[in-house]
Amino acid sequence: MKQTKAILAVLLAVTLCVPFALFAMARPGDHAITNPYAAVNWEAARAYKTALHTHTTASDGDPTLKQSVQRHAETGFDIVATTDHGTVNYTWAEPCPNKLIHDVLTALGRNGQEGQLEYLGYEGAFDNGATYTYATADNGDDYLTLAEGKTILRLPYGIENNAVSVNAHVNSWFADYCDNSITTYEDAVRGVEKAGGVCVINHPGEYTKARYELRTENAYDQNNFAYSYYINKYAGLIAEHKSCIGIDINSKGDNRTRFERKLWDILLQRFSANGENVFAIASSDAHQLSVIDTGFSLLLMEEQTSAAARKALENGEFFAASHCLGNPDELADIAAALKEYYGETDLYQKVDGTVQAMAEKVAAIESGEESADESIGVTYSVLDGEGYTTCDTFPAVNAVTVDEATDTITLDTSDALLIRWISDGKLLATQKADGSPFCLRDYEEQLGDYVRAEVFGEGGILYTQAFLLDAADKTGEAPVTRGLYFNMGVLDFLFAEIHRWTEVILRFFATVFIK
């Protein structure tokens, strides 16, 4: 009898549990995940290494155009936009008609090679002996073709607008437009949009002076009036002008842009709440040959054309990437994860050593041993003194898989060691790059309206665009928070300068008081 009761009890328990088990197995996804890479055909697409921002002697760069193109070829670029200050790039073959900025800077001694302009012609050889041809294809695009068959696409109409502004620089492509007025971002962004181009806000930390902050918590502090004002301005510009796809988050070795990921996350919080995205590029902003391979963007395209490049930029079908990393908190987290997953390797020692060097520099500035208006000036880099990489590999994302049924995002990577997942500016998790999915359910209470990934390997770092969560449910319900800002032209920079020098003075008096 007892045995019969026991069997009945087991059967009853199983009967009660089965519906719950079936419900758990059939549980729908908790989130609708907007994947910016959903339209990418990973079998057909290729990641084209792209220089979106670089300079020559046509404005204030040291290298001539020919030297710049040679170095881009040597370092593996597939697409190059020449973006001199206030100078639309029409061709690499012959002199361009707009030489005003070049002539002024030459007179002031502000460009290299004593202002020499050296174009490529339609065939020739570089200083390293490599021969090339340059021609316009049937599709209207210009290509440089090397003897071994490699081709480089010249992105049309590259320019850095606002040449005579105070660091309110806007890069644009695909439209014959130039703004050289003494102005702020507003006029340039509006003009690019009217002309039918695509643009991005360059190195915001140069304008806001966040580059001079010593600690991440102080940069873009929204309780600070100056930072709040500029954040509102960037949010307003991007919200009002669809031609402005986002901001530069890592350029020129990442010393001055080391806090731009924080700004990006603040903007993403505002836009994702309305079901919208903000894209991030990385570039070199190279004024010297040694800087050309610091930062770049990887455009996911099936064909090497300017039309495909524009589509990738407008849809967020690209990754920002850099051989350099300058944020001490990010590097400290990476060092800890490397130690946990891989032990105290040479790479761990290098990353951790960079973190220690950064801490020493900050302490020296705060103690008054070094100039009070210095920035950290220390970065992790895999480039040698000439600007060539010392590492044969760079982390790659070969495919992105989103499974809404299980609330997971999986990155298929190569030459990667770590994947860092971030939402609302907070690091949710650091995974070993072994193909394991990232499950949103594991971090439900910490999730905001988006999540993004950073892929780290020995060769540098790669940033995905943000994956929006439940975007369709939010569209139009919560307009992007723009806040208070005005278009006061060149006067706007005063907020940043006053704030910066106030910090310098306070640091000086603190040092004197401590001593």
Q: How confident is the model at residue 400 (pLDDT cuts 50, 70, 90)?
A: very high
Answer whether residue 248 is part of any domain. yes
- To which H or E segment does residue 445 belong? none
Q: Which residue has the tokens 């350029």?
A: 251
Q: How many Cα atoms are found within 13 Å in the side-chain-facing hemisphere of 81? A: 32
- Which two tokens mark 330? 């990010």
- Is 38 inside a domain boundary? no
**Least confident among 384-398, 399-413, 473-487:** 473-487
pLDDT tens across 274-332, in order?
Answer: 999 999 999 999 999 999 999 999 999 999 999 999 999 999 999 999 999 999 999 99
Per-residue confidence (pLDDT) for residue 16, from 0 to 100: 43
504 has a pLDDT exceeding 50: yes
391 found inside a domain: no
pLDDT value, residue 25: 41
Mean pLDDT of all residues in the chain? 89
pLDDT tens per residue, range 59-98: 999 999 999 999 999 999 999 999 999 999 999 999 888 8
467 and 402 Cβ atoms separated by less than 8 Å: yes
Query: What pTM value is reported for the model?
Result: 0.91
- d(CA 175, CA 188) in angstroms, rounded, equals 12
In this structure, is residue 307 part of a structural domain?
A: yes
CA torsion, points 191, 194, 197, 202, in degrees to nearest 10?
30
Which CATH number is 141's domain given? Answer: 3.20.20.140
Is residue 498 over pLDDT 80?
no
Mean pLDDT of 319-347: 98
Q: Which of 55-69, 373-387, 402-416 has the lowest mean pLDDT?
A: 373-387
Lowest mean pLDDT among 132-146, 182-196, 301-315: 182-196
Instruction: Tell me how many domains the chain contains.
Output: 1
Confidence of residue 375 (pLDDT cuts 50, 70, 90): confident
Domain contains 345:
no
pLDDT the model gives residue 486: 67
- Alpha carbon dihedral 210, 264, 279, 472, in 10-degree steps, equals -160
Please report whether residue 471 resides in a domain. Answer: no
365 vs 29, higher pLDDT: 365
At 139, phi and psi to the nearest 5? -80, 0
Q: pLDDT-derived band of residue 19, with 50, 70 and 90 as boundaries?
A: very low
At 192, give phi and psi (nearest 5°): -60, -45
Domain housing 274: 47-324+484-489
Structure tokens at 231: 């954040």
Q: What residues are paired with 34 via a beta bridge? A: 468
Q: With CA atoms as reference, report the closest residue to 326 among 405, 374, 379.
A: 379
In this prediction, residue 442 carries a pLDDT of 96
Mean pLDDT lowest among 12-21, 122-131, 308-317: 12-21
Nearest to 391 by CA among 458, 303, 322: 458
Measure the CA–CA gap between 409 and 428, rounded to whole angstroms. 14
Percent of the chain with pLDDT over 70: 86
CA dihedral 430, 433, 439, 443 (to 10 degrees): 0
Q: What does the block give as tokens for 110?
A: 């502000």
Supply the pLDDT for residue 289.
98
pLDDT digits (tens, 9 = 90+) for 439-496: 999 999 999 999 999 999 999 999 999 999 998 777 665 666 666 666 666 666 666 6
Q: Do the domain assignments include residue 400?
A: no
Amino acid identity for residue 314 in this structure: E
The C-alpha atoms of residue 215 and residue 231 are separated, in whole angstroms, by 18
Residue 436 lies in a domain: no
- Pairing relation of β-strands 244-251 and 279-283? parallel
**Using 50, 70 and 90 to split pLDDT, how confident is the model at 187?**
confident
Q: Tens digits of per-residue pLDDT, 145-183?
A: 999 899 999 999 999 998 777 788 999 999 999 988 766
Percentage of residues of the chain with pLDDT beyond 90 = 76
The region, left, alpha or beta by phi > 0 then psi within -120 to 50, assigned to residue 153 is beta
Taking the CA atoms of 69, 74, 80 and 81 in sequence, report the sign of the dihedral they define. Answer: negative
